[in-house]
Structure 1
Amino acid sequence: MSQQTNGSSSLLASLAPGSFVILWSSGFVFAKMALPYAETMTLLATRFLIAMALMLVISLIWKARWPKSMTQALHIAIAGILLHATYLGGVFAAIERGLEAGVAALIVGIQPLLVAFVAGIFLKEKITAKQWTGLVLGVSGVILVVWSKLEDGLGTELGVAIAVIALIGISIGTVYQKRFCGEMDLRTGAVIQYTAAAIPTGILAYFTETMIINWTGEMIFAMAWLVIVLSVGAISLLYLLIRKGAASKVSSLFFLVPPTASLMAWILYDEVFQSAALIGMIMTVLGVALVNLKPIKRFGLRSRPG
């Protein structure tokens, strides 16, 4: 019985990183599904409030620990504004302004690449030739994709600029959370972060939008997916990965997000990457992979004798 349980746990730990990437990728297409029925900030503020309530219930049931000080709670809140309000707000707003879901995923998908170089510069770590190659490939690929899509009339310069703001938000937020929120419990931390993110998005919604949500069947399904599967499920999955010591696998697989999101967008919305854009996509994926992939030995895996 014990061996069967251990085997199930090992299988779950093996499947979890890839599952997390798929869930993360689905956020782009479900954002596109929901946006016809609500404006960006109204949609996000509602999503954050529902997710906050669900995570609060989860935190109370499992008696998760809360921050020990107001300073720690403030750091968690700031990271939440960057990672949720700025990042998701930018992605949703860019898609609302005509940027394809796959292109939005590609732009913000170079976040691991950007974080690696920012950390390398500020922490005085050596940047290798492979990483420089990845940087050039990744950025050049994004430029090629964006240029190709704009030439075809798919998206606007404003949408691209907003997606870049989202990229900056998640990049700074990632570094900030690693620096100041290392001891955060992901359940109670999510309650604080979703609450913090709901404040600026709610204010913007109140002053700039109608705050009307058309609760169609498709909207309800999209909101349920965004809240339950992503805001609650993905966070719980990430918690499992960290507890199992496999969090590094999520980072190493992050380069798969843009092509996965693009495949979903093609299936659901017939978004197609023509030759130049497809080349750019491949360049970007390879660039992020060069910077972000770690040797297999870093995961504690050893080859078995044949």
Structure 2
Amino acid sequence: MTSPATDTAPDGSDGTEVTGPPAWQPVAALGVTLVFWASAFVAIRHLGHEVTPGALSLGRLLIAAVVLSALLVRAPRHRFTRTELVLLTCCGVAWFGVYNLALNDAERRIDAATAAMVVQVGPILIALLAGLFLGERLTGWLLLGMAVAFGGVVIIGSAMRGDGGSDLAGVLLALLAAATYAVGVVCQKVLLRRLSGLEVTCYACWFGALVCLPWLGDLGDVLSTGSTETLLLIAYLGVFPTAVAFSTWAFALRHTDAGKQSLTTFLVPVIAAVMAWALLDEVPPPLAFLGGALCVVGVLLTRRKPGVPAAAA
């Protein structure tokens, strides 16, 4: 295990006073995450059926793990407790491993819009789990924003549904992705109370890669026969939507509620649709603009703070 670090615990558990970063930094980090995650949908769609779900997952996770490990060499590190090791394993196996395999396979069976719509059950599960296990408040604004944003995703999914169909296996795989995403984020939030975002993301990538090792042969075939464009896209997915975006996500999550932050991912389908429009010349249908507007409004509602009751006379 890594050597213990002497830096201040992020939650102030060592008794020292902790000052958070400027308010704009977590917001900017989250913005970077959303843009890169949205770009991943465009890149995966472009890869199509050239790369199997296992090979794609293993490739991007190995690249991300190597990049993050190189950064972690000179960064402060902690010696994990037994509980942290269990949570880190759950986060890596569930969110980085099973989630990627399930989502990539789901998009081979159902159209991307349906998959994105089903996976957006994940933020709702996170908000509920965070309320149950992390003590985060489910305010009226949070619930209203959740409902409005999810309605927007449903409209986008209905408007952009293609010819991929919606077979039961594909829908169940997308639901599995949503559930493992929720479990991973809640575990990550607990880990970030003491560990750095770089540590959590790096080791979670390695655990996720271990889950995907059975597809090492498929990845070898892709490396030996794949086109330069395919290899560059896998490298892009590993460096930016995985290594960078998951690190900026962890940084932002360290300074906000898990439930509230996860609901901002309702914006990912909106950003992905705009990117597909700009990069792939896929013009969204008019109804998709209404869905996108609802997603934006819903996310803004989740950021509202409940009113402070008036003091008793």
- The verdict on a shared fold, with TM-score over 0.5 as the criterion, is yes
Whichever structure has more helix as a proportion of its residues is 1
- Asked if 1:153 is matched to 2:159, the reply is no
Q: Is the 8 A contact 1:109 1:257 kept in 2?
A: no
1:1-306 aligned within 5 A: 13=25, 15-60=28-73, 62-100=74-112, 103-121=114-132, 127-146=138-157, 153-157=163-167, 158-180=169-191, 182-203=193-214, 205=215, 212-213=221-222, 214-238=225-249, 241=252, 253-276=264-287, 278-290=289-301, 292-295=302-305
Say how many residue pairs are matched: 282
The superposition leaves residues 134-175 of structure 1 with CA deviations (integer Å, 9 ceiling, x where unpaired) of 44444444445545555x534433433322221111112112
Q: Is the 8 A contact 2:149 2:266 kept in 1?
A: no
Counterparts of 1:122 and 1:15, CA distance in 2: 27
Q: Is the 8 A contact 2:139 2:306 kept in 1?
A: no
- Quote the residue 1:6 is aligned against: none
Q: Is the 8 A contact 2:123 2:265 kept in 1?
A: yes
Counterparts of 1:103 and 1:181, CA distance in 2: 32
RMSD value, Cα: 3.7
Q: 1:109 offset after TM fit, Å?
A: 3.8
Q: Partner letter of residue 82 of structure 1?
A: A
Q: 1:79 offset after TM fit, Å?
A: 0.7
Q: 1:176 offset after TM fit, Å?
A: 2.3
Q: Is the 8 A contact 2:93 2:207 kept in 1?
A: yes
Counterparts of 2:298 and 2:42, CA distance in 1: 23
Counterparts of 1:111 and 1:253, CA distance in 2: 12
Q: 1:107 offset after TM fit, Å?
A: 3.7
The superposition leaves residues 164-215 of structure 1 with CA deviations (integer Å, 9 ceiling, x where unpaired) of 2211111121122223553222323233211211122222x269x6862143
Counterparts of 1:90 and 1:265, CA distance in 2: 23
Q: Is the 8 A contact 1:91 1:163 kept in 2?
A: yes
Counterparts of 1:55 and 1:82, CA distance in 2: 19
| Structure 2 unpaired stretches of 5+ | 1-20, 308-313
- Quote the residue 2:6 is aligned against: none
Q: Partner letter of residue 261 of structure 1?
A: A
Counterparts of 2:292 and 2:189, CA distance in 1: 28
Q: TM-score, normalised by structure 1?
A: 0.74
Say if 1:64 and 1:34 are closer, same or farther in 2 by CA, change over 3 A: farther
Say if 1:43 and 1:141 are closer, same or farther in 2 by CA, change over 3 A: same
Provide the secondary structure at the position in 2 that maps to 1:212.
helix
Q: Is the 8 A contact 1:51 1:228 kept in 2?
A: yes
- Quote the residue 2:311 is aligned against: none
